[in-house]
Structure 1
Amino acid sequence: MQQLLDGIVRFRREDFESHKELFKELKEQQRPHTLFIACSDSRVDPNLITGTLPGELFIIRNIANIVPPYRESGEYAGTTSAIEYAVKVLEVENIIVCGHSNCGGCAASLHSSDMLNELPHTHKWLELINPVRDTVLREMDSMEPEAWEWMMEQGNVVEQLKHLLTYPYIKEKIMSGELALSGWHYIIETGEVFIYDKDTGEFHLANEIRKNRKG
């Protein structure tokens, strides 16, 4: 706890002071340009990865960066309500689903860990990525273990992009050109980000995409 308290003091003395005018602007309202859906994993920091400041990203985090398919429900739906708010009220221009390497949620789903028997809510949540798991299980015999992980993590990102398209108001905004979707796979140990190309069905290194666009 002391480390966190020291961090508060350091933030107020250093980071806040260097962005004082920005925080004054943010006092009354937020106008984020991007909804960033990421895993709750402590190693994934959306603002650090993207080099963005407070007010730019509206962030949703949960186990394995999952987007439940759209449904009308009387339940308490945290992820769904946050998506609704970001798109309908804040009118974000982009939605990014960002998976990452060594994802515990994806690994637990893939390997059916006994640990999940003690985590009933997590177990239920991960049922949403069973279709991805089943696809990977069918291909496992022809791949190395590291490839299983990447296939699961990247396949999960693609699956969540499909889920986003079940939201009528998202599909409508995409069709009108008001909203863009993107799927990312962040590699913790190298800092690399691979971006999904729906035309090829493959993930390409972000640095290469940027270089090609400049060229």
Structure 2
Amino acid sequence: MKELFDGVVKFQEDDFVQYKDLYESLKKHQEPHTLFLTCVDSRVVPNLITNSLPGDLFVVRNMGNIVPPYRQDSNLRDGYLSTTSAIEYALSILGIRNIIICGHSDCGACSAIYEDEETLNKAPYVKKWIELLNPVKEKVLELNPKSKVKRMWLTEQINIEKQLENLMTYPFVEEMFDRGELRIYGWYYIISTGQVFNYNMITKEFKPINKDKK
């Protein structure tokens, strides 16, 4: 833990001082321009990937960057309300007009859906959460990938596509999108290379984000 305590001191002495005026402007309100929904994986750092500053991104994280499908009968004991309420808050309260769902390579949640029952029973809450990925698993198995590497690659990318579909089941999201008031993106981040691929919802392809293609 020493490095974390030392990190706090460094932040206060260096980074905070560098952006002191920015932090002062953020003390009573936030105006993020983008909802960034991604995985809890420690290797995925949204502000680092996007080169953004404090206050730019409203970040929502969960295992597998999952968007639970909209359910009209949700109640306050619904275990999926954390993500659902964050999406609602981002759009309805903060007025955010951009959403990015960012998946990544070597995703533990995408790998876990292929584990045997005995292994999954050791982590019952994880098991329950990743049941939301069953439609992704079914679609991948229908494609019959010939190797585990290809299976993972397909799972991680199809998962992003599925979460975009789930996002569109929210009536307020669909209405805003149809009126041209909301932009929605699906990103696939490769940890080992730093590359980010953007999903084209028309051609249904992932294309690398670079200087020529934004």
Instruction: Indicate whether the TM-score tops 0.5.
Output: yes
Q: Given the two structures, how large is their TM-score scaled by the length of structure 1?
A: 0.94
Indicate the percent of aligned positions where both proteins have the same amino acid. Answer: 49
How many angstroms does 1:200 deviate by? 1.2
Matching of residues 99-118 of structure 1 within 5 Å: 99-112=103-116, 114-118=118-122
Residue matched to 2:179: 176
Tell me the SS of whatever aligns to 2:121: helix
Superposed counterparts of 1:3-14, under 5 Å: 3-14=3-14
From 148, 151, 154, give the equivalent of 1:151.
154
Name the amino acid aligned to 1:119. A
> Normalized per residue, which structure has more helix?
1
1:179-199 C-alpha deviation (Å, 9 max, x unpaired): 111000000000000111111
1:164 aligns with 2:188: no
Could you tell me the TM-score, scaled by structure 2's length? Answer: 0.94
Residue correspondence of structure 1 range 116-131 to structure 2 within 5 A: 116-131=120-135
Does the residue aligned with 2:113 lie in a helix, a strand or coil? helix
Match of 2:49 in 1: 49
State the Cα RMSD in Å. Answer: 1.3
Q: After superposition, where does 1:70-149 map in structure 2 within 5 Å?
A: 70-72=70-72, 73-74=74-75, 75-76=77-78, 77-112=81-116, 114-140=118-144, 142-149=145-152
Question: What number of residue pairs does the alignment pair up?
Answer: 210
Structure 1: gaps of 5 or more residues: none
Q: Which is worse superposed, 7-16 or 115-124?
A: 115-124
State the AA in 2 paired with 1:189: S
Indicate the residue corresponding to 1:58 in structure 2.
Answer: 58
Q: Return structure 1 stretches of 4+ with deviation > 2 angstroms.
A: 110-115, 142-145
Structure 2 counterpart SS, 1:196: strand
| Higher alpha-carbon deviation: 177-186 or 131-140 | 131-140
